[in-house]
Amino acid sequence: MEKTWNVSDEELNLFMEAAVILVKEAGEIISTAMDKQLNKEIHVKDANLGEGHGSSVLTETDMKVEQHLIKGLKSQFSDHEFIGEENFDESTGVVNFTNAPTWIIDPIDGTMNFIHNNPLVCTSIGLAVNKRLVLGIINCPIISFLYTAIKGQGAFLNGKKINVSGTKDLAKAMVIMEMPTGAKEEKRKIGLKNLSELLTKAHAVRAPGPAAMDMAFVGAGSADAYFHCGIHCWDMAAGAVIITEAGGVVLDPSGGEFDYMSRDVLVASSPELAKTMVELVTPYKTTRDYPHSCPM
């Protein structure tokens, strides 16, 4: 039987402190790259082409940031493991995932924004222990928004406690969704269907771009609901902890239990709004990141 890890609140706080320092340093790398116009696309991830343009772009800074974070964390916590976007093999998915503390890293969420010099970019780091999410950090360096949460300790924006809006009525809700530009026809059709439904029922619909930041917005009450099908564990892990600790709801778009390896998520500011969104949204199913169930 695989070892079960016991991690104390004091250790989680130590992990958070170390990771925040590294994430802020990563933010400087991102900011410098944008200032110097080094945010250019260098590679297309062929395996992701059907998911849309935003899922397939890669820059040198993506790789540089991921390496900085993994190297820094590994030097302090040698027994920890890592799942990183730029070290992920689309053909095999996540192969080795143990109960050990595992950092789930998206070095630049919003790479499409990044290459267009749009300031809405972020770094997202979640931590799983015994395959359960316990910590989340989402840093938006250009706009200076740092979201943090540890399970059982609340969620924070720049050190100030945050809560979801509590909005229950879709007619009063700002909903965030992704526009599947460049995706395969089936995904585009489902995206247009969902948008059409929301345009007649929601108070507002927005598409800022980075999935992790979109989730953090809901956690902070800056939006009321968000859904996306076809993203990855590194897009969702940190945001799921932040929203839960901020009092929000995190589900599978079908209405079932959220599974951060399923590549699908729906979040809302209240159970009532979540129920409405589940009834409205048509999910788009994709292959999993990891074959076994991974609830929060």
Q: Please give the Cα distance from 248 to 220 (Å, whole number).
A: 10
pLDDT average, residue stretch 233-250:
98
Q: What is residue 17's predicted lDDT score, i.e. its pLDDT?
A: 98
Higher pLDDT, 51 or 200: 200
pLDDT of residue 266: 98
pTM: 0.93
As given in the structure block, the two tokens for residue 177 are: 């969704």
Pick from 90-99, 200-209, 225-234, 255-264: least confident? 90-99
Amino acid 49: pLDDT:
44
pLDDT above 60: residue 50: no
Confidence bin at 281 (pLDDT 50/70/90): very high
**Does residue 54 carry a pLDDT above 60?**
no
Q: Which residues are catalytic?
A: 85, 106, 108-109, 111, 235
12: pLDDT confidence band, cut at 50, 70 and 90?
very high
CA angle 135, 288, 49 (to 5 degrees): 105
Which residue in 164, 175, 168 sits closest to 273, CA to CA? 168
Please give the domain boundaries of the chain with CATH numbers for all domains. Answer: 9-162 (3.30.540.10), 170-280 (3.40.190.80)
Write phi, then psi, for 273 (nearest 5 degrees).
Answer: -70, -35
Residues 6 or more apart whose CB falls under 8 angstroms from that of 80 comprise: 73, 74, 100, 101, 102, 103
